[in-house]
Amino acid sequence: MDRFDVIVVGLGAMGAAAVWQLARRGVRVLGVDQYSPPHALGSSHGDTRITRLAIGEGAHYSPLAARSHALWREIEAETGADLMTTTGMLLISSSATRASVHVPHFFRNTLEAADLHGVDHERLDADEMRRRFPQFAVADEELGYYEPGAGFLRPEACIEAQLTLARRHGAVIRTGARLQSLAETGGGVRVEAGGQAFEAGRVLLCLGAWLPEQLPAARRGLFTVRRQVLYWFAVDRPELFDPARCPVFIWELPVADRVIYGFPAVDGPSGGVKVATEQQGVATHPRDVDRSVAPSEAAETHRDCIAPFLPAVSDRLIKAAACLYTVTPDAGFVVDRLGDSDRVTVVSACSGHGFKHSAALGEAVADRALGASAPLIDLDAVRWARFGR
């Protein structure tokens, strides 16, 4: 049986970061995935992810985002990959809206997080938004938060680059190897995956939307997996969506409970602009989820959530994709023991806002697995204990 210091199971956003961080520390590490990441069956596909520094879901996450920005630049320098583009981010809201991103008071929390962590930003009124960002048909009562250091990440390239670096530093990567069993032995943890048995001192479970099925029943129910749909629409005035003049955006719409977010035309006008809503619909499972997108779904989203607010985004659909959020009751992360011992750590899919933090989260969990401190992560905020389980 092959023996490793650490085994990382799941090599999406979280696992790819963790396996690279472990490999660069010189430990013997195995990374295992049921598929061949990056892939389009979990939570880390769809060309782009927003990254921002003032974190409205919880100001304690801001240091992770800032550290991740430094790491993305380091990975770019080491691999030559293009991972992060700074476009600025415009967050639009109003006191009249009932919508809020992931948590209550997201807009206010974002302003407070920016002040707390000294994140460069501007507060804009409707006239100023119309003057600077004519792509957005804002109403008089809407307010803007503009963060110039925000932008977008290329998730598939981030995963690919970190797996490349992990291999370069000696990590063993097994793809097409599904986790079959996990058991603590006297001296470590025995892992069976892809028909082979391995042993390690520590295991990190970074299973994304598949994590709940590995948990005891009492904790499984803390996660809800929801289908999310991403749309790429053609634009009528491409010059408005050039990344040089169009920020990434998040909009708490003035219509009931709807949030949209989106990106400039990151692959030129022929690639269209990606816009998505946040779906609160029925719970699903990665095994059963409908990954196709009906034309009627796209037409309805365009009519209700895009046309009134982004008038230069046409209803010509270029492509669409379904993706998975795995959300806890407080929309926070879980990084904690699987059971009673420190040997197996769970790293959750992070409730629909984890990608921007994944590089630093991988670093933090690698340090923890090796018994070092991980000062950037607020451990109390990410433990099971906050749910009383």
Ligand X SMILES: Cc1cc2nc3c(=O)[nH]c(=O)nc-3n(C[C@H](O)[C@H](O)[C@H](O)COP(=O)(O)OP(=O)(O)OC[C@H]3O[C@@H](n4cnc5c(N)ncnc54)[C@H](O)[C@@H]3O)c2cc1C
* Contacts of 348 by beta carbon, 8 Å cutoff, 6+ apart: 211, 223, 326, 328, 333, 334, 335, 354
Which has the closest alpha carbon to 153: 56, 68, 244? 68
Per the rule left: phi > 0, alpha: psi between -120 and 50, beta: everything else, 32 is: beta
335 part of the interface to ligand X, by CB under 6 A: no
Cβ contact 173:20 at 8 Å: no
Size of the site for ligand X (CB under 6 A): 37
Segment interacting with ligand X (CB under 6 A) among 46-54, 297-305, 309-317, 336-344: 46-54
Residue 380 CA: distances (Å) to CA of 326, 334, 335, 363: 20, 10, 10, 18
Among 179, 298, 306, 346, binds ligand X (CB under 6 A): 179
Output phi, psi for 156, to 5 deg: -65, -40
Q: Which is nearer to ligand X, 32 or 374 (CB)?
A: 32
Q: Which is nearer to ligand X, 143 or 323 (CB)?
A: 323
Residue 54 burial by CB count (10 A; 0-12/13-18/19+): exposed, middle or buried? Answer: buried
Distance from the first to the final alpha carbon of the chain = 35
353 part of the interface to ligand X, by CB under 6 A: yes
Tell me, letter by letter, the H, E, C secondary structure of 269-329: HHHCEEEEECCCCCEECCCCCCCCCCHHHHHHHHHHHHCCCCCCEEEEEEEEEEEEEEECC
Q: Which is nearer to ligand X, 179 or 253 (CB)?
A: 179
56 part of the interface to ligand X, by CB under 6 A: no
178 part of the interface to ligand X, by CB under 6 A: yes
Q: Which is nearer to ligand X, 113 or 207 (CB)?
A: 207
58 part of the interface to ligand X, by CB under 6 A: no
354 part of the interface to ligand X, by CB under 6 A: yes
Q: Considering the complex, what minimum distance in angstroms separates the CB of residue 160 from ligand X?
A: 12
Place of tokens 């969990």: 365
Helix, coil or strand: residue 153: strand
Which has the closest alpha carbon to 57: 328, 335, 374, 388? 328
88 part of the interface to ligand X, by CB under 6 A: no
Q: Which residue is nearest to ligand X (CB)?
A: 12
The partner residues of 323 in beta bridges, in order of sequence, read: 228
Q: Which is nearer to ligand X, 85 or 311 (CB)?
A: 85
Q: Which is nearer to ligand X, 85 or 128 (CB)?
A: 85
Segment interacting with ligand X (CB under 6 A) among 80-88, 102-110, 130-138, 345-353: 345-353
Strands 172-174 and 29-32: parallel
Segment interacting with ligand X (CB under 6 A) among 118-126, 338-346, 348-356, 365-373: 348-356
55 part of the interface to ligand X, by CB under 6 A: no
Which helix (H) or strand (E) is 92 found in, with range?
Answer: strand 89-93
Cβ contact 53:119 at 8 Å: yes
State how far the Cα of 99 lies from the Cα of 83, in Å rounded to an integer.
Answer: 30
Q: Considering the complex, what minimum distance in angstroms separates the CB of residue 116 from ligand X?
A: 19
49 part of the interface to ligand X, by CB under 6 A: yes
Among 204, 355, 359, 360, binds ligand X (CB under 6 A): 355
Q: Considering the complex, what minimum distance in angstroms separates the CB of residue 323 from ligand X?
A: 3
> What residues between 206 and 245 interact with ligand X by CB under 6 A?
206-210, 228, 230
Q: Considering the complex, what minimum distance in angstroms separates the CB of residue 235 from ligand X?
A: 20
Q: Considering the complex, what minimum distance in angstroms separates the CB of residue 211 from ligand X?
A: 7
Segment interacting with ligand X (CB under 6 A) among 80-88, 113-121, 288-296, 323-331: 323-331
Place of tokens 């974190």: 55
Q: Which is nearer to ligand X, 96 or 197 (CB)?
A: 197
State how far the Cα of 8 lies from the Cα of 173, in Å rounded to an integer.
Answer: 9
Q: Which is nearer to ligand X, 143 or 248 (CB)?
A: 248
- Mask of contacts with ligand X, 6-45, x by CB under 6 A? ---xxxxxxx----------------xxxx-x----xxx-
Contacts with ligand X, residue ranges (CB under 6 A): 9-15, 32-35, 37, 42-44, 46, 49-50, 178-179, 206-210, 228, 230, 323-325, 349-350, 352-356
